[in-house]
Amino acid sequence: MDLNELLAQFGTGSRETVYLSVSPGVGLELIDVDVQSRTVKNYGFRPLEYNESLRQIDSMDAFKAALSELFEELNVNPKCNVVLNLPLVIFGSKELPLLLADDAITEALTSEVEQSYVFRRYEPMLSWSDSSITQSGDVRKLFYTAVQKNIVDDITAVLEEFGAKLVSVQISLTSLLKALTFSGLTVEQMKDNVTWNLMIIRPNGYSICSMVGKNIVEYYEEPLAINSFEGDEIYSAISSSAQITLMSYPANYLYIVSETDLVSAELLAGRIPVAGKIGYFENNDFKKQNAVPVSLEVLEEASHKISLEAIGLASNVKLPSQFEFLEGTDGLAEDPNEPVHVVLGSTEFNISPNGAKNVALLFSAVILIPALILALLIPLTVKEKQKQLDEISSKLTTVESEVKKLQNDQNSGSFDANNEIKRILTDNRIKLLSYSALGESVPKKLWLTYFCAKDDGKIDVKGQSANVEDIYAFFRNMKDSLINTQLRIHKLEMVSKNVDDAVSDIDDSGAYSFEITNMQDADINPVKDSEKSENSGESTNNDKPAQNNAEQNNSPANLPVADE
């Protein structure tokens, strides 16, 4: 990555170049052309009124609004350089003494231009070029053109509001010739020493540019009120007028470009009787195909509007006669000392080129140092991760071995997963039924102090009650809820020391303690009072004892055991 690319990554470096064309038949065009593939990469347009009589944009506010919409639509950074194409205002030729200095030539041509009605009101901005045809004698032939200085100043001011810079102003005639060369529409005509005439039809008349290859020889413009004609009358009027003019410029080819929707170049080509071959291009709504291929990113409706002037403006074609209105520029030149505009997120500021280079070098160091550290750490990290991967692979191998063993046991019949699942579900169901029955069967004056339910369906319940009737009621409810559990009252004891105390304690606490179970005597492990409080609410060997808040205030007295 070179320095310019690095600067571009951070919003610095050279500005983007944007190509704008003011085209009377279309409006304001913004175009991006891929010169290598000769295709239009991106394009947009907005209608813009143009005064053909005064040859200027009707409203600068409309120009500003159209430009803002195009920047947003095509995602163009307004902080850019702009190359502008303007419609031709005046074009002519003049022979002056060969030894005349450039300042004197400019003064003489300015006087010539000011004879035009347009520049009697507005100051001209002049550009001129020597004829590329071999000249002899003491005179030189010059071609000149001019645009209104106030229009260029107004456009410059609008662009500066966006942060853009106008770097070049070109005219539609040269932009059109560049497009014809770039697109290959006039390959035969633009060969060396081939004479041909370019006829351009505009809303206010037509012009004929006599050419030899790519060199301009003569230029003639004929005003004609095209809007005043109806139907085919316009073709007869143009044909009659142009026939006489074309006789003064004999050539091997005639190429017609129509830039008005009122005239079809194809129909006009069939009406003009000239010697030689006639070609044409519809630079209007009669257009049947584009001059160059268009990217799929450009909408079909928009691609139909692309003018030849916009294409030629964005091409890299060089013509023998070049016209540039901005002094000291060639369309792409930039001031090497101009501050670079930097965009970092929402922050924007200007920095000198040297400062930008220093910032770029600093960023390079910031990026390269961590990259170097990573280059040293990555091998160590990879080694550690490889070790972890080996450990995981070893564990995975062990697990796969165990899974395979279980599968072999199941296949051999020593382990049946279905039976094991069924057994677990059955045991859990018995426990759930036990808890449910326990909750539904407890009378009002009966307290449970111990509960145990085992996986094999064995149940052991201990508690206290104020009377024997509640104990038997609780026992019967448990048997009715847990069918086939073989429950029995294993123990029934009086808690009070004597009968009088028992009678007095009936309302305060339980007078009888009991134990209901379906376990055998050998399976019942007596639990001491101190162990009851420690084991309350815990589960041993998957057992889940439950205990209520009953208080034991008296020592139990042994009574006969009642079994049912």
What would the pLDDT profile of 187-201 be if each residue is shown by its tens digit? Answer: 999 999 999 999 999
Q: What is the CATH number of domain 422-535?
A: 3.30.1360.100
Q: What is the spatial distance between Cα 553 and Cα 538, in angstroms, rounded to a whole number?
A: 23
Give the C-alpha separation, 355 to 116, whole Å: 50
Neighbours of 21 (CB within 10 A): 28
**Matching fold, domains 186-290 and 422-535:** no
| Residue 558 pLDDT class (50, 70, 90 cuts) | very low
- Kindly give, in sequence order, each residue whose CB lies less than 8 Å from that of residue 62, ignoring residues fewer than 6 positions away: 48, 49
Task: Residue 302: name the closest of 73, 529, 34, 546 by CA.
Answer: 73
Q: Given CA atoms 131, 132, 134, 137 in this order, what sign does their dihedral have?
A: positive
- Please tell me the distance from the alpha carbon of residue 168 to that of residue 190, in angstroms, as a whole number: 26
pLDDT of residue 246: 87
Q: Under 8 Å CB-to-CB from 11, ≥6 apart: which residues?
A: 341, 342, 343, 344
Q: Which stretch of 32-46, 86-100, 162-176, 499-513 has the lowest confidence by average pLDDT?
A: 499-513
Q: Average pLDDT for residues 433-450, to the nearest whole number?
A: 77
- Dist. CA 442–CA 123, nearest whole Å: 112
Which residue would you say has higher pLDDT here, 389 or 428?
Answer: 389
- Average of per-residue pLDDT across 482-499: 77
Strand stretches in 246-384, DSSP E: 253-258, 277-282, 340-344, 347-351
CA distance 461 to 543: 12
pLDDT over 60 at 285, yes or no: yes
Sign of CA dihedral 22, 28, 34, 37: negative
Q: 541 and 452 in contact (C-beta within 8 Å)?
A: no
Residue 329 reports pLDDT greater than 50: no
**Which residues, in sequence order, are CB contacts of 37 under 8 Å at separation 6+?**
293
HSE value, Cβ hemisphere, 13 Å, CA-based, for 409: 10
**Model pLDDT, residue 66:** 95
Beta bridge partners of 332: none
pLDDT class of 484 with cuts at 50, 70, 90: confident
Q: What pLDDT score was predicted for residue 31?
A: 94
From 75-84, 271-280, 398-407, 450-459, the region with the lowest mean pLDDT: 450-459
Q: Do residues 125 and 149 make contact, with C-beta atoms less than 8 angstroms apart?
A: yes
Q: Output the pTM of the full model.
A: 0.59
Give the integer Cα–Cα distance in Å for 522 and 487.
Answer: 16
pLDDT band, very low/low/confident/very high, at 158 (cuts 50, 70, 90): very high
Contact, 106 vs 126, CB < 8 A? yes
**Long-range contacts, 268-276 (Cβ 8 Å, 24+):** 268/201, 268/235, 268/238, 268/239, 271/235, 271/236, 271/238, 271/239, 272/238, 272/239, 272/242, 272/243, 272/246, 273/239, 273/243, 274/243, 274/246, 275/250, 276/196, 276/251, 276/252
Average pLDDT score over residue span 440-449:
81
Judged against a pLDDT cut of 90, whether residue 7 lies above it is answered with: no
More confident residue, 359 or 151: 151
Mean pLDDT of the chain: 80
Domain 186-290 is found in CATH 3.30.465.10: no
Domain boundaries, the chain: 12-184+292-338, 186-290, 422-535
Return the sign of the alpha-carbon dihedral for residues 506, 510, 516, 519.
negative
Q: Is the pLDDT of residue 545 over 50?
A: no
Main-chain dihedrals φ then ψ at residue 529, nearest 5 degrees: -60, -40
Name the CATH topology of 12-184+292-338.
Nucleotidyltransferase; domain 5 (3.30.420)
**Range with lowest mean pLDDT among 160-169, 347-356, 507-516:** 347-356
Q: What does the pLDDT average to over 103-111? A: 92
Q: pLDDT band at residue 429, thresholds of 50, 70 and 90?
A: low
Contact 312, 172 (CB under 8 A): no
| pLDDT surpassing 60 at residue 230 | yes
The pLDDT-based confidence of 473 (bands split at 50, 70, 90) is confident
Whether residue 243 has pLDDT greater than 80: yes
Q: Rounded distance, CA 285 to CA 261, Å? A: 6
Q: What pLDDT shows up at residue 5? A: 46
DSSP characters over 405-429: HHHHHHHHTS--HHHHHHHHHHHHH
How many CB atoms are closer than 10 A to CB 448?
21
What was the pLDDT predicted at 281? 95
Q: Is the pLDDT of residue 133 over 50?
A: yes
